[in-house]
Amino acid sequence: MKRSQLVAILLLAILLPALLLAGCGGSKANDSKALGAHRWKAVTVAGAAVANGGPVTAAFENGTVTGNTGVNQYSGSYETQKGNAISIKLGPMTQMAGTPEAMKLEAAYIKSLGQASAYKVDDSKLTLLSPSGGELVVYDVYVPASLTGTDWECTGYNNGRGAFQGVVSSATITAKFSTDGSLSGNGGVNQYNSAYTVQGNTISIQPPVATLMAGPPDIMEQETAYLAALPKAHTYVIEGPRLTMRSADGALIVEYATK
């Protein structure tokens, strides 16, 4: 054997373990800080695009995962390990009902979270992966709307008779929360004004004062119920383009979407 060949073999023997270690470097990745750096909004679930509607969201922070299925709030725990391995165990969820399509999406999303075994993440995207490496959920960074300065349109309200119902299609109910603590909008027929205060996620709304225009009976009945519901709001949550308010006992009071 030539001397040059012997030297090459010895160098390869020395370098091979280091090369193998470098090649396996991905298995030692730990991007858990990036995982918790943002709130996330799902764009695909089980390979299907998430359609318009309530956003499907997730936030990972110190072993706790919280978010929205598009219909219900959920919470749970998660663990990460080197190699960007992850396991998610869901806990309590609210029990709201949605459209058949929304409930089907919720079921697929919850199933996907439970199947996740690894993740990929950067500054703009998070992907949860199955044990075989398939994409379960793909998220983009989630930036919710702001309570103030946003033009909100009511999509549902508590009718005061123990039921939550959608807005009549021929009417538009609006709300705008200003930074000075004033609230203004249209109840479907009349303009109204009120005042509000917030502390954390709690909100207090004063009984609104409205103009005295007359309209169709069904629209007037809706407007009266909507204005009566506002002072009952106690907490609020903003999920993407949706603002939801609930009473002190957790009853749904009013929901809005960005216009």
Say if residue 166 is in the same domain as residue 231: yes
Residue pair 71/44 in contact (Cβ under 8 Å)? The answer is no
Of the residues 141, 161, 179, which one is the last residue of a structural domain? Answer: 141
Task: Examine the domain organization and report whether 85 and 183 are in the same domain.
Answer: no
CATH number at residue 117: 2.40.128.270
Cβ atoms within 10 Å of 53's Cβ, excluding its own: 17
For residues 169 and 254, membership in a common domain is answered with yes
The answer to whether the CB of 67 falls within 8 A of the CB of 249 is: no
- Specify whether the CB–CB gap between 192 and 210 falls below 8 A: yes
What pLDDT, on a 0 to 100 scale, did the predictor assign at position 11?
46
CA–CA distance, 254 with 32 (Å, rounded to integer): 36
Number of separate domains in the chain? 2
Which one of 113, 141, 169 terminates a domain?
Answer: 141
Q: Which of 50-54, 75-79, 209-213 has the lowest average pLDDT?
A: 50-54
Residue 126, domain member (yes or no): yes
Query: What is the tens place of the pLDDT at every residue in 1-47?
Result: 555 554 444 444 444 444 443 343 345 677 888 898 888 999 999 99
Instruction: Name beta bridge partners: 78.
Output: 88
> Is 70 part of a structural domain of the chain?
yes
Last-in-domain residue among 122, 141, 160: 141
Q: Residue 119: which domain range?
A: 31-141
Q: Render pLDDT for 173-182 as a digit per residue (tens, 0 to 9).
A: 999 999 999 9
Q: Which residues pair with 203 in a beta bridge?
A: 198
Helix (H) or strand (E) holding 87, with range, is: strand 85-93
Are residues 165 and 252 part of one domain?
yes
What is 198-213 written as a DSSP string?
EETTEEEEPPPEE---
Does 39 lie in the same domain as 116?
Answer: yes
